[in-house]
Structures are given as C-alpha cells and as structure tokens.
A and B are shown apart, each in its own frame.
Chain A
Amino acid sequence: MTIPKVIKKGEFPHKDLVSMEQLSEKEIYMILDTASRFKKISLRNIKKVPALKGKTVINLFFEPSTRTRTSFEIAAKRLSADIVNITSTASAVVKGETLLDTAQTLMAMKPDFMIIRHSYSGSALYLSRIVSASVLNAGDGLHEHPTQALLDLYTMKEYKGQLEGLKVAIVGDIAHSRVARSNIIGLNKVKAEVMLVGPKTLIPSSIEKMNVKVSYDLKEAICWADVVMMLRIQLERLTEGLFPTIREYSMLYGLNRDMLKFLKKDAIIMHPGPINRNVEISPEVVGDKRCVILNQVENGIAVRMAVLFLLRGAEKVSIEQ
C-alpha cells in the first residue's frame, strides 16, 4: 500500500489511539508505512518538520516512565509541536483531584493532544470520552500500550520483511503486561502466529481464546520462533507469590547463552525495556547480533510521529509542507 503525500480526512478516522483493538489491519499498515517515512527525518541533520506546528501536546504521566515519555516528547518536537510534561502518581490522584477534574482543567488550556499513561486499565478510554483533544494511550494498567505494539510490529517488519505468518514468542509475565496484550491483538490482525511462554501463574485466564498458543517450555518456543519478545519481570510479582524465586524463574524462563543455541540464525530478540539483566535476559544475549532492543527504541520515535501525524496533524498538512 502506498501512502499519498497528503493524508485525507477520513482515511484514518480516529480521534484517539487508545488500543490496538480499535485499529484495522489496513490502518496498522498505514501507521507503519507513515512511520517509515518519518524514520528518515530522524537521520537528517535537521531533525524537524513543521507538520504539527502550532499544536499543543500534553504528556500526562501518572506512572514513572523515562523511555516512553521521552520518546513521545521527541516525536512531538520533531513534528514542531509544543509539548509539556505533567507527571503525577495515581495515588496522589486518589487522594486529591480526580482524573475527571484534572482532564477538564487541562482541557481548558486547549491542548490538541493528550498522551496518558496511567496505572488503571480503561483510563485512556475514559479520558478520550471526556476531552475533545486527541488522546494517545501510552499504557493503561494491564490493558494496552498500542504505540509499543506498533513499534514492535514496525521492527519485526523491518527485520523480517513481512508480518503475515511470522512466528512470535512472547515470554514472561503475560498476565500483568499491557505490552503483551497489545502485541497479541496487533499480531492477530496482521495474521502472525503467537506463542505465549511462562509459568501458569503469569498466563492469564482463557487467553487461548485470543488465538494464541501457550507453552510452559521456553526451549520449545525458542526453537519455533522467528521473533522472541522477552518481557520485564517486575520484582513485586515475587511478593505476590507468582513464582518462588528470581533464581528459579531465570533458570526456566530467562534467555541466556545456552538457550540462544536453539534460536534460529535469522531470528530477532526484542524487549520493551527496561531490561533486568540476568533475570529475564542475560548480558550475552543483549550483546547478541540478533538482539534489536535499541532499534525498537529508535523506531519508537518514528512510530509515535506517525501516530501523532495521522490523528490530527494530517488533516491540513503534509509531511514536508
């Protein structure tokens, strides 16, 4: 599919991006193709286009985040938008101002975009209903993290050529991962195959109904996969009794040198970051030439530029205008 120079109104008919669920296969490819054009801008000497000049973006982060927040910030700046960062914690909101009041207060300042990260599932959808600005979900609870899935799809496509039929293993804490959920939904839409790997305590109920295979055996998945996506293990899962020790988790589900032997030569290793070295991934694996973690970070900016552009900025302007 080719993207015309000017994106016409109606071709990407969304006010918000709150989930992968809302996107069609065609729209996913539209975002990826747009991103590939934006990726080149980041490689230039002058890394800026005027596409979103005069637009205001609010980064509204209720959870700590460095990479996603920075990635969105750089993406918005490379599109010439003005961006402000607001960081808070959900607990402060519980005690004081509600999200509704925060949203209405910010809306009075007339932003064009609100990018939200929040520890409660559904909060991005909730925000999108109470503000007229375009809402981008930068992660809501255990639910979705659509731009992460899009940058993952972009990276897979970049390295593997096509997404259809691709075998993707997602390893680790599926139950608490919005990255996993968004990827499963996105990969389903582009007709890739998904295998989830982890102990049963980290695999959520009935997930096989989402058209995925489930395995408790990392080796089986490693032998099978074209793409291995390792998820971060939050150390607090230990206190919830979801596995006995980090040592045993790492023994069974950590990607290490021994396990790498079973991985296809042309496979790629991904991780949404931040990584826990020697927990889910060992330092040798991070250094392996099949590991594309930093490329994911790079592609994140292009993908987020594309999403910002397609949601609002695209109505009136072209990329190079």
Chain B
Amino acid sequence: MLLIKGARLVDPLHHVDKKADMLVDRGKIVEIKNSINVRGADVLVATNLIVCPGFIDIHTHLREPGEEFKETIESGCEAAACGGFTAIACMPNTIPPNDNPSTTRFIMERARMANGVRVMPIGAITIGQKGEQLCEYFSMKREGIIAISEDGRSVMNSGILRRAMEYAATHDLLVISHCEDHNLSGKGVMNEGIYSTRYGLRPIPTQAEDIIVYRDVALSALAGCRLHIAHVSAADSLFHIRRAKKRGLRVTAETAPHYLYLSDDMLATYDTNLKVNPPLRSRADVQALRKAIKDGTIDCIASDHAPHSSAEKDVEFDIAKPGISGIETSVGLVLNLVNEGVISLKRAIYLLSAGPAKVLNIPPNSLSVGSDANITIVDLKKEWTVDPSKFHSKGRNTPFAGYKLRGKAVATLVAGRILYSEL
C-alpha cells in the first residue's frame, strides 16, 4: 500500500482540483479523502506538489531495433519515467522499420522487459516506409500497434494514402501524419525566410507542411478515418486543422515543446541541436502555436523524442541528423509555460494526459477511485537547469541545455509502482 499525503489532485477531464490524500493498493487508487491514515502503508509526502493523471507521450523514437547505440526500448522507457511519462507511443522508423507483425511483437516483448512504462508501438503505413505497399495493419494491431504513421516522411502518392486510410478505417486504426511535401522541402534544412537567406542554409517553406495537412485532412474525410497531425510547426497548418474540426472531422493535432520556444533566427550559430524536422519556424509561428495549445486547436503536446549520438550531431549542419532528445525536458517545458502565464495548469495537464489519450482513443488515466494508479506528480514551482549529462536517455542532443525552467515532474507511478521519484 502506498499513501500519497497532502497533495493537490488535479484531473481536468473529471473536473477534479482539490487537496486530498490518496491511497493506492494493488495497482489501483482505492481511496481519496481529506485525510487518510493507514498503518503499514508506504508514505509519499507530497505537500505543495500536484498529483496528475499519468502523462502520455504519443510521439517518441526508441531506436530499437537497429540503432541501439542511440537508444534502446529499455533506456527510452527509463528516460520516459524520469521525464514524467507513464505511457509512450513509439514511431516505426527503426531499422528495420516496424512494418510487420513480428517487429511489433519484438517491440512489445522488449517493452515487457523494461521498467513498466506502457509502450504503444505505431506501425508503418507502407512496407519499408517506401510509400508503395500497405503493411498488414490487422495482424500488426493484433500484436499491439495503436496507430499507423510514416513518421519522418509523407506518403507522397495520394492514391496510396487514400487506400491506406480506408484500410486503416476498416480496422479502426488512427493514421498519424508527418506532413511534408518532399518535392517542396527538397534538400532544405531550415525554415524559408530572411534567416535561411542570411545563413545560406537551404530553405523549406511552411507550405511544405500545410499543403500536406490540407491534403491529408481532405483524404481522411474521403476515407472516413481518424487522422492525427504530428508535430505541427507552422501557423498556416493551424488554419486547416481548425477548419477540419469545425467541419466535425475526426482530426486531432499535436505540437512539440521546441516549436513553442525556439525559432529560425536562432540558427545563426549553426547549432545542430536546433536542427529538427519540421524545422524551427518564425517567431510569429511560435506565437500562433502558443495560442493554439490554449484554444484547443492543438490536442496534445508530444516530445518527438529523437535521440542521436554525438557522431550524428557534431558535424556540419547540412549533414546533421534532425531531432531533439526531448522526453526528459518535455514536461518541464510545458509546466514552464504555465509559470509564464501562457496556459493554465489545467490545460497543461490536459495536453499531457487526457489530450493524448483522446487522440489515441484509449481510456485516459484518471484520479478516481477504482482507476489504475498511473500517476505523474509534479512540482510546479521547482526551479531546475537542463543538464543533458544527467539525462537517462542515451541521446544528449538538446538545444535546451542550460535552460532554467520552473516546473518539473518529480515522481512517476505506473500501476501503483514508483518508477521514478525525486521525493
């Protein structure tokens, strides 16, 4: 038995916001009362802390199989727990990609051997992510995939994507779109504008993203599938997402913390940690996204955790691999927005828990008696400095090194088991 004492419980989905004690037993929340005293229970003193429904990161890269030097399912799960996440979804662009049921099964088996963070694999849309032949969605779903995505690429052939969406709808699978018109992005490495011109880096216009957002929304309406837009980076994409939602389409969207903080002007240093795909956009885009997480256009925030080794980052900008090792900074960056007054605490918790659950159509974690004790405890006032050398992920690639943030996940519980605690 575990007794969490003196915390503030906040569960936006169930309109809970109160100070209470919580008793956890055999993996479940068994009692919530003003004051609980149980002899023999382990006690977690959580005065001035906030107990939240467990956070879910629906966009991560665990690199296994194939690139275990960057991350393994085990190290990724460890990092997830330290970052405050009780469940994560992992993208299929491993080597080989998760484009068949046995790779899905392998990932599920490895995940069972890890720390207990729930791993939800995402399958590829096409074999080898080549955009040609559909994968066996039914068989892969039976092994554990919860969505399909070609993350890192768009399926450029609209005819094939339409069939993929229809086949996904047949099996009630969510389609997650990485939106990039590869003919437009070409060899580009940064956002198009005055800064790409000044720094002499090949440009990617925002249109490379929003054209595909529009196309995929249109195709999802035709195919009748659920669609989720991954890592929205540009203000123009938000226009299409708002319109889709207004039409009542089953379209959701995420953004990543870096798009809420960083912009293309920062690339003057050619710091490869700032290289991401889609690229960092203008300051106006950052402001538009900050508004969109508040007004509901964006349903959740995902880290797009993309660990790399230094060999892929300590090179010239053009050939550096894109991505940020973000799973251990994501929650801190979101909570920091609460302290900056950008979003409310409730909204932040929603974007990290109920929001992603809704996107994936899985039961949300909840702070009610009888629920599984999947819990993230945060300290909204804790000041800390991002130090990649202390990451549990193998990836130390972050542009946030040295950032002073306010707000941090301090404990993570899955099924009542403490996977991480600073308390």
A residues engaging B (CB < 8 A)? Answer: 94, 98-100, 118-123, 125-126, 140-144, 178, 181, 204-207, 209-210
Of A94, A99, A100, A143, the contact of B200 (CB 8 Å cutoff): A143
Interface pair B200/A205, CB less than 8 Å apart: no
Q: How far is the CA of A77 from the CA of B314 in the complex (A)?
A: 33
Instruction: Give the total of B residues in contact with A, Cβ under 8 Å.
Output: 21
B193 contacts across to A, CB distance below 8 A: 205-206
Selected A-B contacts with CB under 8 Å, 24 pairs: A94-B319, A98-B315, A99-B315, A120-B317, A121-B200, A121-B270, A121-B317, A122-B200, A122-B317, A126-B317, A141-B200, A141-B201, A142-B201, A143-B200, A181-B200, A205-B193, A205-B205, A206-B193, A206-B194, A206-B197, A209-B194, A209-B197, A210-B194, A210-B197
* Chain A residue contacts of B116, Cβ below 8 A: none
In the complex, chain A residues whose CB is within 8 Å of the CB of B194: 205-207, 209-210
Chain B residues with CB under 8 Å of chain A are 192-194, 196-203, 205, 269-270, 311, 314-319
Given A94-B319, A120-B318, A122-B317, does the pair A143, B197 have CB atoms closer than 8 Å? no
Q: A122-B270, A125-B270, A210-B198 known; 13 other A-B pairs, CB under 8 Å?
A: A99-B316, A121-B201, A121-B270, A121-B318, A122-B199, A122-B200, A126-B270, A142-B200, A181-B198, A204-B203, A205-B192, A205-B197, A207-B194
Q: How far is the CA of A164 from the CA of B201 in the complex (A)?
A: 30
A99 to B316 alpha-carbon distance, docked (Å): 8
**For A94, what are the chain B residues with a Cβ–Cβ distance below 8 Å?**
319
> Is A204 a contact partner of B315 (Cβ separation < 8 A)?
no
Give, as a whole number of angstroms, the nearest-CB distance from A186 to chain B.
14
* Cβ B196 vs Cβ A205 within 8 A: yes
Contacts of B316 in A (CB 8 A): 99, 118, 120, 122-123, 126
CB distance from B205 to the nearest CB of A (A): 8
- A98 lies within 8 A of B314 (CB): yes
Nearest-neighbor residue (CB-CB) of A142 within chain B:
B200
Chain B residue at minimum C-beta to C-beta distance from A182: B200
Which residues of B are found within 8 Å of A121, using beta-carbon distances? 199-201, 270, 317-318
Which residues from chain A contact B269 at a C-beta distance below 8 Å?
A: 125
**Please, how many angstroms separate the alpha-carbon atoms of A141 and B318 in the complex?**
10
CB distance from B55 to the nearest CB of A (A): 36
Q: State in angstroms the CA–CA spacing of A199 and B314 once bound together.
A: 37
- With CB as the reference atom, state the residue of chain A lying closest to B200: A143
How far is it, in angstroms, between the C-alpha of A120 and the C-alpha of B320 when the chains are bound? 11
Is the pair B200, A144 in contact by a Cβ cutoff of 8 Å?
yes
The reply to whether A205 and B201 contact each other, CB–CB distance below 8 Å, is no
Give complex CA distance A285, B199 in Å. Answer: 33
Instruction: Return chain A residues, CB-CB under 8 Å to B197.
Output: 204-207, 209-210
Give bound CA distance, A140 to B317, whole Å: 11
- A207–B198 Cα distance when bound, in Å, is 8
Give the distance in Å from the alpha carbon of A121 to the alpha carbon of B318 in the complex. Answer: 7
User: In the docked arrangement, what's the CA distance between A18 and B205, Å?
Assistant: 27
Are the C-beta atoms of B319 and A143 separated by less than 8 Å?
no
Give bound CA distance, A178 to B137, whole Å: 49
Which of B192, B201, B205 gathers most chain A CB within 10 Å? B201
CB of B407 to closest CB in A, whole Å: 33
Chain B residues within 8 Å of A209, by CB: 194, 197
Residues of B within 8 A of A122 (CB): 199-201, 270, 316-317
A209 CA to B282 CA, complexed, in Å: 15
**Bound CA span A100–B272, Å:** 13
Identify the interface centre among A120, A123, A209: most chain B CB within 10 Å of its CB.
A120
- How far, in whole Å, are A124 and B240 apart by their CA atoms in the complex? 41
Distance A242 CA – B270 CA, assembled complex (angstroms): 27
Chain A residues positioned under 8 Å from B198 (CB to CB): 181, 210
Chain A positions within 8 Å of B203 at CB level: 204-205
- Let me know if A142 and B202 touch, CB within 8 A: yes
Q: How far is the CB of B322 from chain A (nearest CB, A)?
A: 15
Q: How far is the CA of A123 from the CA of B194 in the complex (A)?
A: 20
Instruction: Tell me, rounded to whole Å, the shortest Cβ–Cβ distance linking A191 to chain B.
Output: 19
Interfacial chain B residues near A205, Cβ < 8 Å? 192-194, 196-197, 203, 205
User: In the complex, A181 Cα to B198 Cα: how many Å?
Assistant: 7
